[in-house]
Amino acid sequence: MKLLIVDDEPIIVRGLTQLVDYAVLGYDQVLTATKSSEALALLRLEKPEAMLSDIAMPGLTGLELLRLIRDEGLPTQVIFISGYRSFEYAQEAVALGAKDYLLKPVHTEKLTEDLKAIAAAHRERLEHDRFQRHMQSLSGEQEALPSLDAIEKENMPFRLLVFHLAVDSEQNNLASGLMHFSALSKGEAYCTEHGGIAFLKDDYLCAIVHGPDEQACADAAQKLAKGCADMVEKALARPFNYVTDAALLHSTQEIPEAFQRCRAKLSMPHRDQQTEDSLIDKMKEYIAAHCGEELTLDAMSDIFAMNPTYFSSFFHQKTGVKYKDYLTRVRMTEAKRLLLQTDLKVYEISQRVGYSDVRYFSQTFTKATGVLPKDYRSKHRK
């Protein structure tokens, strides 16, 4: 960003250049002028984002410079620094759109606050412009899929990852859009830097991860997905939900169908579409109905379109119980029911509640109840 300092007294210009560490505030170039004609030339040529200017100067006054800035559509925000305690000057300055009217000697804190505000507004405008260009590119006719000719020629299998940011429904459309675009930009950069082939499709971030065999693909996909989601979530304080397509792909022709499968999973209700309590209820219902299946943290995160770290934190926060402990509790409850209401053998019950190792099941059951499964059955069936 550029800052222009204008005053017809050179000593004041020098003093203002040393008053604040402008670089820290984001202004990497400080321009100066001691004549209003020089200032106008610099405004038109350099188009600085901010200008500190005296009001009463020979030639064009500061107010006249501000009028020209507005008439010519220049991007410069103006802070007047004046020795005149004139209500009329201040009133006209505000009417013309000046950022502030400060009296000499200048209070550093107030000047710093104004310059920070101008820098922040400038960054927001840049982000908004990038977002608009991004949305226009998404609505274009060009195909968003990457070229994977080299991978296909080498007959290398690959997997598809699809990411989408959960945003608050309370946010306005622009704020949500800017946050989502920021997530896509950060995620795309991360995937590219970590060996993925990233591209945008229908406002989703997609990434291709390839490897010499199925296991290598699975490992690489899991590592990239978790790393990218965690990075974006940490930066934006919002879950960057993702899905890894279950199918191992071998041709670019398979990508559109895989993308639709992932998008369907990501479109299921999550935090931005329903209450947190309702979501927890759905999680509990799913665990109760499928406790005999392999309900790993990664599996549940995939089912509910969250990254594993966020799922674990969210579940613990809302239930007061760690996910693994909750799953064990549900499985032990079901094991008790089966012991008392069926004649299934212990190893069969172990498999029914998700334990392939009957010894480990017995150890877990004993830890939870204080007795072995067979003793529990004998004691409570009397």
- Write out the two tokens for 21: 């560490």
Whole-number pLDDT of residue 149? 58
Cα–Cα distance measured from residue 61 to residue 67, given in angstroms and rounded to the nearest whole number: 10
Alpha-carbon dihedral of residues 317, 319, 322, 325, nearest 10 degrees? 180
pLDDT value of residue 26: 86
Residue 164: name the closest of 256, 235, 228, 240 by CA: 240
Give the three-class secondary structure for 79.
Answer: strand
Query: Is the CATH number 3.30.70.2740 carried by domain 149-274?
Result: no
pLDDT for the residue numbered 303? 79
Indicate the SS3 state at residue 246.
coil
Question: Which string of b and e fits 7-42 if b means at least 16 CB within 10 Å?
Answer: bbeeebbeebeebbebeebbbeebbbbbebeebbeb
The distance from CA 52 to its chain's CA centroid, rounded to whole angstroms, is: 36
> Can you give the pLDDT at residue 268?
55
| Residue reference for tokens 């060009």 | 142
Domain 2-121 bears CATH identifier 3.40.50.2300: yes
In this prediction, residue 148 carries a pLDDT of: 55
Looking at residue 200, its pLDDT comes to 82
pLDDT of residue 332: 96
What one-letter code names the amino acid at 355?
A: Y
pTM value surpassing 0.85 = no
Q: Which residues contact 365 (CB under 8 A, 6 or more apart)?
A: 332, 335, 372, 373, 376
Q: For position 146, what pLDDT does the model report? A: 45
Mean pLDDT in each 10-residue stretch from start to end of the chain (382 residues)? 92 90 89 93 93 89 90 91 72 81 84 90 70 47 47 73 73 63 86 87 85 84 89 81 86 85 70 58 90 88 73 83 94 94 93 93 93 91 68
Domain 323-380 has CATH 1.10.150.120: no
Same fold, 2-121 and 149-274: no
Map out the domains of the chain as residue ranges. 2-121, 149-274, 323-380
User: pLDDT value at position 133?
Assistant: 53
3-state SS record for 114-174? HHHHHHHHHHHHHHHHHHHHHHHHHCCCCCCCCCCHHHHHCCCCEEEEEEEECCCCCCCHH
Q: Which candidate, 189, 199, 181, 175, places its Cα nearest to that of 135?
A: 181
Asked if residue 105 has a cis previous peptide bond (ω within 30° of 0), the answer is: yes
